[in-house]
């Protein structure tokens, strides 16, 4: 834990790699040709009928990859293009390719191995982060990740989209998995010595402050390495956008969101790194995003409130290791 009110990703990267290290978003080409010569897509099992057909109610046609370069570009080309922008400006030499969009382990094993090796072997790469679903983590894929980590002497972090620990809400957003799959995936990833990260949306319409606190408890009990928080944004053309326009969703306000994030942070183990406490999405793609406020203003508001009230990440993390035995 640092002197900051919460354990920031930027400080973690400097402490871990000795200098500012940049995470580069990478979009994998989702198209492949099957054994019958038919072109198919492996974007997500919640879209192709494996777990569902409509996808999550909040997810748009391009997933979450707003900052990505075109998936038609190779990983090598995307890394080079990102470096061309970052290196002259920041003099950076260390990078983390982030396989970001959709479900990046939902593909044939050999294809996954080739993609991962291309990312891991690029010059200056110190880690690869892989976003996927909890129900798309399997032993043979994890073995490949561990092999690549050892071969190239890098770290690999598996980022799992959970969004909420409330199984009623998971059903409402058509997530296609429960909390159990997330717990199973985390335990499997840790067994292979890989890093873990969870994505959470703290202001889903059906969730409460208690859900945020319980999410912090579960992340801490599972000893995750990192957490990434998002505020819900309503993407145009989604099921959730239709619900929003019909007035069927009640969203909490900005002040309530900041309060909920603070509750989460106070109950979260101080050892867990926060990649971020608020996300962002382009206005042209959304009906609602961050209360029409800059993400940095919300982040700064959270930090300011915690400083003013003397709060720190983990100052309510007193519930583990047989806490009820404190009198003995």
pTM: 0.93
Q: Is 125 left (phi over 0), alpha (psi -120 to 50) or beta?
A: beta
- pLDDT-derived band of residue 252, with 50, 70 and 90 as boundaries? very high
In this predicted structure, the answer to whether residue 1 has a pLDDT above a threshold of 50 is no
| Confidence category of residue 63, pLDDT binned at 50, 70, 90 | very low
Mean pLDDT, all residues of the chain: 92
What would the 3-class secondary structure string for the chain be?
Answer: CCCCCCCEHHHHHHHHHCCCCEEEEECCCCEEECCCCCEEECCCCCCCCCCCCCCCCCCECCECCCCCCCCCCCHHHHHHHHHHHHHHHHCCCCEEEEECCCCCCCCCHHHHHHHHHHHHCCCCECEEEEEECHHHCCHHHHHHHHHHHHHHCCEEEEEEEEECCCHHHHHHCCCCCCHHHHHHHHHHHHHCCCEEEEEEECCCCCCCHHHHHHHHHHHHHCCCCEEEEECCCEECCCHHHHHHHCCCCCCCCHHHHHHHHHHHHHHCCCCCEEEECCCCCCHHHEEECHHHCCHHHHHHHHHHHHHHHCCCCCCCCCCCCCHHHCCC
Give the mean model confidence (pLDDT) for residues 109-131. Answer: 96
- In percent, the amount of the chain with pLDDT more than 90 equals 77
Q: Taking the mean position of all CA atoms in its chain, how far away is CA 207?
A: 19
Q: What is the mean pLDDT of residues 118-147?
A: 97
The mean pLDDT of 8-17, rounded to a whole number, is 96
Measured between alpha carbons, how far is 265 from 314 in angstroms, rounded to an integer?
A: 6
Q: How confident is the model at residue 32 (pLDDT cuts 50, 70, 90)?
A: low
Percent of the chain residues topping a pLDDT of 70: 94
Min mean pLDDT across 38-47, 202-211, 215-224, 292-301 is at 38-47
Q: Indicate the range of 20-34, 188-202, 268-282 predicted with least confidence.
A: 20-34
Mean pLDDT of 47-59: 80
């Amino acid at each position: 834990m640092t002197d900051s009110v919460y354990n920031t990703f930027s400080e973690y990267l400097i402490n871990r790699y000795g200098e500012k290290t940049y995470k580069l978003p990478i979009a994998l080409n989702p198209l492949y040709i099957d054994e019958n010569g038919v072109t198919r897509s492996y974007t997500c099992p919640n879209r192709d009928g494996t777990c569902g057909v409509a996808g999550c109610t909040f997810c748009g046609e391009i997933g979450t990859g707003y900052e990505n370069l075109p998936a038609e570009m190779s990983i090598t080309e995307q890394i080079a293009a990102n470096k061309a922008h970052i290196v002259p400006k920041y003099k950076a030499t260390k990078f983390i390719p982030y396989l970001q969009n959709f479900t990046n382990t939902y593909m044939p094993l050999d294809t996954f191995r080739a993609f991962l090796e291309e990312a891991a072997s690029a010059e200056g790469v110190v880690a690869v982060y892989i976003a996927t679903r909890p129900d798309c983590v399997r032993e043979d894929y994890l073995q490949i990740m561990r092999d690549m980590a050892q071969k190239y002497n890098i770290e690999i972090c598996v980022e799992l989209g959970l969004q909420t620990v409330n199984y009623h809400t998971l059903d409402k957003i058509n997530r296609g998995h429960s909390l159990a799959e997330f717990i199973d995936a985390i335990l499997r990833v840790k067994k292979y010595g890989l890093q873990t990260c969870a994505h959470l949306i703290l202001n889903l319409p059906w969730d409460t402050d208690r859900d945020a606190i319980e999410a912090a408890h579960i992340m801490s009990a599972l000893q995750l390495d990192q957490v990434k928080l998002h505020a819900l944004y309503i993407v145009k053309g989604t099921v959730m956008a239709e619900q929003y326009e019909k007035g069927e969703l009640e969203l909490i306000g900005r002040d309530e969101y900041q309060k909920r994030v603070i509750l989460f942070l106070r109950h979260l183990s101080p050892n867990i790194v926060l990649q971020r406490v608020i996300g962002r999405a382009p206005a042209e793609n959304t009906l609602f995003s961050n209360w029409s406020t800059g993400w940095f203003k919300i982040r700064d508001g959270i930090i300011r409130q915690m400083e003013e009230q003397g709060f720190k990440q983990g100052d309510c993390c007193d519930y583990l290791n047989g806490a009820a035995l404190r009198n003995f």
